[in-house]
Amino acid sequence: MSSDDLKTWIGKTQVAEDFAAPFPARALGPTLDADDPEPKMGDALPPLWHWLYFLEAVRASKIGPDGHPERGDFLPPVPLPRRMWAGSRFSFDGEPIRIGDAIKRVSTIKSVESKSGSTGSMVFVTVQHDISGPRGVALVEEHDIVYREAAKPGEQARPPKPAPADATWSRKVPTDEVLLFRFSALTFNGHRIHYDQPYVTGTEGYPGLIVHGPLMGLLQIELARRSNPGKIARSFEFRALSPVFAGSALTVGARQDTDGAVTTWIANAQGGLAQQGKAIFR
């Protein structure tokens, strides 16, 4: 499809309703290796834990070759094979979602942009999610998806720039197949780049299984909020810069800035900057 054809998807909406059941929140903490009390009904969900809900369950016959639902329903049918989570921005202006709440998500395609980079053509799709509960809108998320061309024979990714070395807080996180499996299961993510070694290396041309961008985003905001007890997140954003491959430890870093914000990042095993972000608390 042409760029103009794809832009006809702008403004399309989708509504989903769910129940903030206890088990997903009970399972995510241990998946992130957190030693927290077991969450109970009425507890507020931490930032980004809404990803445990509104999971898309399409029929098996409607799954595309990459493990995602086929394109062309809500998301535009971008004719590029590789799909990645490019980043997200969040504002937490309302009362938080609580376990046991009836919840609703209204998703709107905000933009579709075609670009050209060093690896070829790309298409960026931005989707806005408005998440609400019994007390009104709890948060607004803007999610950027990037679609890329297939890997070319012999293509080598440029090495990322070094990650910051001035962390106020940091944490090393092993990244193995079990972590990727558990997070994929909790978020009902069938994307084969996270569990199918022959597919990710043979079809998409990556050197190994890829750690989820949203998993790394969660690790970033988790380190920031746990290092600032008593404060409430007002906003958070993160942007993916380079893939992280499973099998070795990544480092989550966070720095307390002079303006009160917390800069966050993910460093790969070689110390390269893979993802960066910023949290603001009140």
Structure tokens at 236: 């958070």
pTM: 0.94
228-276: pLDDT as tens digits:
999 999 999 999 999 999 999 999 999 999 998 999 999 999 999 999 9
pLDDT at 134 over 90: yes
pLDDT at 115 over 80: yes
Collect all residues with Cβ–Cβ distance below 8 Å to 77 and sequence separation of at least 6: 1, 6, 71
pLDDT at 119 over 80: no
What is the domain range of residue 30?
3-281
In angstroms, the CA 113 to CA 132 distance is 28
160-201: pLDDT as tens digits:
999 999 999 999 999 999 999 999 999 999 999 999 999 999
Average pLDDT over residues 122-131: 97
CATH code at 91? 3.10.129.10
The residue with tokens 């190994």 is 208
pLDDT at 117 over 80: no
Structural domain tally of the chain?
1
185 Rama class: left (phi>0) / alpha (psi -120 to 50) / beta:
alpha
What is the rounded radius of gyration, in angstroms, for the C-alpha atoms of the chain?
19
Q: What is the pLDDT of residue 118?
A: 72
DSSP state of 69: B
Structure tokens at 103: 């919840």
Band the pLDDT of 153: cuts 50, 70, 90. Answer: confident
DSSP state of 198: H
Q: What is the pLDDT of residue 1?
A: 66
Q: Is 247 strand, coil or helix?
A: coil
42-95: pLDDT as tens digits:
999 999 999 999 999 899 999 999 999 988 889 999 999 999 999 999 999 999
Q: What is the pLDDT of residue 78?
A: 93
Which whole-number Å values give the CA distances from 115 to 112, 122, 147, 202, 242, in the listed order?
10, 5, 10, 26, 18
Q: Is 165 strand, coil or helix?
A: coil
Q: What is the pLDDT of residue 157?
A: 76
93-105: pLDDT as tens digits:
999 999 999 999 9
Q: Which helix (H) or strand (E) holds 27?
A: helix 22-31
Q: What is the pLDDT of residue 71?
A: 85
